A and B are shown apart, each in its own frame.
Chain A
Amino acid sequence: MPDNLPNLIYRDLAKNASDLSDYDLFRLTDFIKSTKSDFALDLLLISFTSCYNKYLEQIESIETNNENNNKNILKLLSLRCKNLSSILEYFEDDNLINFKKELMDIISSLISNNDFIFSQNFFINLSKIEPLHCLKLLRKNKNDLTDELSSLLISIEEEFEEYQHLSFEVEEIINKNISDFKFDFPNFNYLDFI
């Protein structure tokens, strides 16, 4: 693989992330980490989806064929999914906001398959821009959460409480500042009125 590839080739590589050699995947993720753009985030999500879909296929194949060989591939894909999701932390909130919908879709899919372990980094990063959405989902699945997700739920709940408290407090501050005239009445004396 040459050093600088056209964007379309990176996209193709991402789509086939599950089948790439470790070295090529390293080159791809290195590009994503160093670029940290919307395009890089898009590549990351495509790569994750590729690996995760393959991971699901492997599970299905193991369940139907009970092939031991597939279990090693499953381990590899599981590791790739975890590693790829950890790269999310390289991105700024602005990038995450532009891919809010995609992040939510991936989380929904992971939850529906009970794959909370892969969802951790998605929740952590989505909570930076959509804490309320995360709060609702985490509360709904409270009993199935990993330890890390349970801690995340606690911290989001605390922040939500602080937000609600601040919301009331700020409303009072705003109203007080509008209506509170500090019109100090000074001491006057007879000569002041001459």
Chain B
Amino acid sequence: MSQKILNEINTEKEEIFYFLLDILPSVRTNNEIAKFWNLFKGNPSTFHNSHKIPNSISKMESLVLFFKFYQALYLEEKNKAILYIENFVNNEVFDEFYLLSVLFGIKENLDVQSYFEIDDQYFSNLLKTYYFIKLNDFDKAYNILIEINSINRLSLLKEIFYLQCAIEKGLYEESENIFTFLLEINKNNNPLKKLYVYYLIRKGQILEAQKYLAKNKIKINTIKDRTLFLYNLLETKQFDKAISFLKKEGKTDEEFFLLARLYHVIGLLDEAFNIYDKLDDTKFAVNKMKGIIYFQLGKMDKALLAFNEEISKRYVDTDILKIIKFLKIKKRWNNA
């Protein structure tokens, strides 16, 4: 089956499309694109500067349009990104790179629904499928995919979408079969391996996911990768490893809050407090957690102040209200 699908990839556009989606490891027909994409992907802002667009790429107008779209998208120039999709529409180009641009638009939550309805029913259904996958409406995604089941174009992408629906609908046997097939033709595909880890977690096989991550030496790059990795560590109660990881790799406030929570749970109260103290107390329940630390240390007056701060800055939490009530009574019943 894998060879049959590989044989179906018979246009340069389709091959580049897969390469850009990281589904196949290399572009056989155009190495310049591979080199360019590797540089550009890591730093989209260099598009106009140091890295000139190779001739072979500049000849492919819709590919260049995709690169421009990608650059705007990752520089968070969302309106500009939409305009590049409009360019495709104005030029009446609804090829693989149009599809790719809208897919990335959906991925980054751009308002691109109006670009789903195109004459190419197959592409239209693929876009809608991914849209519903993003919305976690897997029944709808699956039904739309079934409508184009008999069409054999961009079958690898269709398989991946089908796999996604199968994972979320709990069709594990089918998921396993598709993974076997996809991993056979994508032996070094990191995103696919990460999706496999995700699948194992969804199945509840946390230890297996942990082993798979370690065995395959999967690189952890993005926040989503880190979430995947951390979830494994936390579910298996490997708090010390999660702490080491977050100390080294933590980048977002959410991750620092998690680091503080981990310090807290293993009893390193000073370390936890220092982080809580630096975070935005309107965004995170840091006053609540600081109150708990004061409570643990027996500093009840400070605990009361911190809990009151939490409910004045964030929201009323029944747990906190109970603690506040208790602290007020405790003052009087201190010797009990």
A residues bordering B, Cβ < 8 Å? 128-133, 159-160, 162-164, 166-167, 169-170, 173-174, 176-179, 181, 183, 185-194
Contact = CB atoms under 8 A, between A and B. Distances in A.
B329 A173 contact: no
14 contacts: A131-B333, A162-B329, A170-B323, A181-B265, A183-B230, A187-B168, A188-B194, A188-B195, A190-B192, A191-B21, A191-B104, A193-B195, A194-B21, A194-B22
A180 to B, nearest CB: 9
Contacts of A185: 201, 227, 231
Interface in B178-196: 190-192, 194-195
Majority SS at the chain A contact face: helix
Given A177-B288, A177-B292, A185-B201, A190 B333 contact: no
Given A163-B333, A183-B234, A190 B164 contact: yes
B290 to A, nearest CB: 12
A178 B107 contact: no
Interface residues of B, number: 48
B322 A166 contact: yes
A131 B332 contact: yes
Interface in B45-59: none
Contacts, number: 97
B164 A189 contact: yes
Contacts of B8: none
Contacts of B319: 173, 176-177
Contacts of B326: 163, 166-167, 169-170
A192 B198 CA distance: 11
A9 B195 CA distance: 88
Given A163-B330, A192-B107, 10 more contacts: A128-B332, A179-B265, A181-B265, A188-B228, A189-B130, A189-B164, A190-B163, A190-B191, A190-B195, A194-B21
A189 B261 contact: no
B203 to A, nearest CB: 12
Nearest to A166: B326
Contacts of A128: 332
A129 B332 contact: yes
